[in-house]
Structure 1
């Protein structure tokens, strides 16, 4: 049997279809990869260090701006020269440039949870630092040495505002604005109430608030884990669709109708429709955050502690 391009493409398309069915069945039965931490081999670490810019961040080589632009231009030019489709080349450029957005379905929920967990740890540490005779402002300044990395910049800004003479209430409201979370408003409200009534028991109240924050973090992580399953399925469906589009683009007579001007318009329409469906799916997965109850801080810069009546 002679191996032709069409037979090879048909075989690849069949393998892709079978792989898509396997992924669909696995997602339907609720399969998820093991969460056990596996130690990477030396070869795997070397390969990962080549593709990953920084081991501490998940930014891979194809997610870097310059590399992605060059790769998209080369891929679009190759598709245009091989198929003769100008619209196909433009769609390829758009797909390669937007590949991180197409495959990144995690959203911003995990980052917000990490910040909330850092706030819980920060409040717990302040409850240990704060003792009788130590002011709240001094406690916050001392906590800057051990503040978690996720909120280090926000706490540093809070300390800077205190040292600049901001009204404490405005400084705490600005801290809540920076983190923009209804649960963080509870932390800022506790600090504001202590400023207005310098009573005892702040450390005990902070420990109780830290416990409540811990339960909130656990609840949000459970919700985020449930939302991650359809996101993973969405990512695999996207990969499957892009693979099928790429294989059929080089299938010869099957895609001859796209050689006409009307076919090129249809091709662009299909690409735009695919992006719109992705946007629609992401909007469906967005959960509106709980409304905040603290008003925004006065950032006019003219209100300091000495000028407050």
Structure 2
């Protein structure tokens, strides 16, 4: 193979890689049209919010909820760096301090989901009682804000605010499902969407039956979480042991001397990456994989008038 042919192949490969990278960034940033739309994962939505691609609201909300953790991590970073003279040790200690709840409470997210489902079941049951007295579904949602359980208070208030601000019910309910991000919430929202298209009787009874089904699922999930309490406790003790050993090793003098070199700092990064990967692996073994949602995400890029027009078009197509 001649050098010119090798250079041509290398140039084509580099151009294809650049185009692929550009398409990937465009899809992630949302530059492609609706025909290329897909459901984004939770991690991807968080990254987009932190990057400010949602208008900056997600980044502001993230900073409001994580300000204390970030400042604590920065303080630990500076202290450990000054005490040891190792910048990587300070960085790793700061990251660990900022994510202390993730390290020592691996079941927290699942417990929050169960509490949210329990609140959702209570809210749906109250909604069925309110709707029975003659209010419309949208009126029942707004009326329920006064008695909504704390675990789902924020999403329900957002839903009531969207309905009060003139959002089409179809888009408001889909946005509510996105906020809850759970397949069980999709079942409830699907019932609401069906009622939007067909304002027939029987919604109150359907909501009551659905609340009973959600209550059974909450009970089942609590039993599953109880079975996973032991492996999570083992994971917590392993994490404590490793962090204590790491902390005590800083004061062992010549034993940790090699970590002062550049190679030692790189080795520390490698050990930290392997440790985190092992924790993630153990968490996946101790946690259930969530069931994928089936509702499409709400379109938040259109104005209320455009959303209303799109909803009317969808209703017209369904009637034809």
In the superposition, the TM-score normalised over structure 1's length comes to 0.67
- State the shift of 1:257 in Å: 5.2
Alignment of 1:223-242 (within 5 A): 223-242=224-243
Alignment of 1:150-189 (within 5 A): 150-189=151-190
| Residues 87-142 of structure 1: CA deviation (Å, up to 9, x unaligned) | 55555455445544433322521222221111111111111112353222222221
Distance 1:293 1:87, change over 3 A: closer
Q: CA RMSD in A?
A: 3.0
Whole-Å Cα distance in 2 between the matches of residues 73 and 90 of structure 1? Answer: 8
Give a deviation string over 1:220-239, Cα, whole Å, max 9, x none.
12222222321221111111
Paired residues in the alignment total: 244
Distance 1:96 1:132 in 2: 52
> Counterparts of 2:132 and 2:290 in 1: how far apart (Å)?
35
Counterpart residue number, 1:78:
83
> What is residue 64 of structure 1 aligned with on the other side?
69
Relative contact order (C-alpha < 8 Å, sep 6+): which is higher?
A: 1
Partner of 2:218: 217
Q: CA deviation at 1:161?
A: 2.7
2:169/2:196 contact within 8 Å kept: yes
| CA distance in structure 2 between the partners assigned to 1:202 and 1:307 by the alignment | 21
Measured in 2, the distance between the counterparts of 1:94 and 1:150 equals: 28
**Structure 2 gap segments, 5+ residues each:** 1-67
Indicate if the aligned counterparts of 2:73 and 2:93 stay in contact, CA closer than 8 A.
no
Change over 3 Å in CA distance of 1:199–1:238 after alignment to 2: same
1:196 aligned to 2:201? no
Shifted more, 176-185 versus 246-255: the winner is 246-255
**Secondary structure, aligned partner of 2:148:** coil
Segment drifting more, 138-147 vs 167-176: 167-176
Q: Deviations over 1:232-276 (max 9, x none)?
A: 211111111121233344334544555666555444433332233
In the TM superposition, what are the counterparts of 1:125-144 in structure 2 within 5 Å?
A: 125-144=126-145
TM-score under structure 2 length normalisation: 0.65
Compared CA separation, residues 223 and 264, structure 1 to 2 (3 A): same
CA distance in 2, matches of 1:96, 1:178: 28
Task: Look up the SS of the partner of 1:293 in the other structure.
Answer: coil
Return the index of the structure with the highest Cα Rg: 1
Mapping for residues 35-114 of structure 1, pairs under 5 Å: 64-80=69-85, 88=89, 91-114=92-115
Does 2:320 align with 1:303?
no
Using the alignment, how far apart are the partners of 2:262 and 2:226 within structure 1?
A: 46
1:75 positional shift: 2.6
Kindly provide the CA deviation profile for residues 15-62 of structure 1, in whole angstroms up to 9, marking residues without a partner as x. xxxxxxxxxxxxxxxxxxxxxxxxxxxxxxxxxxxxxxxxxxxxxxxx
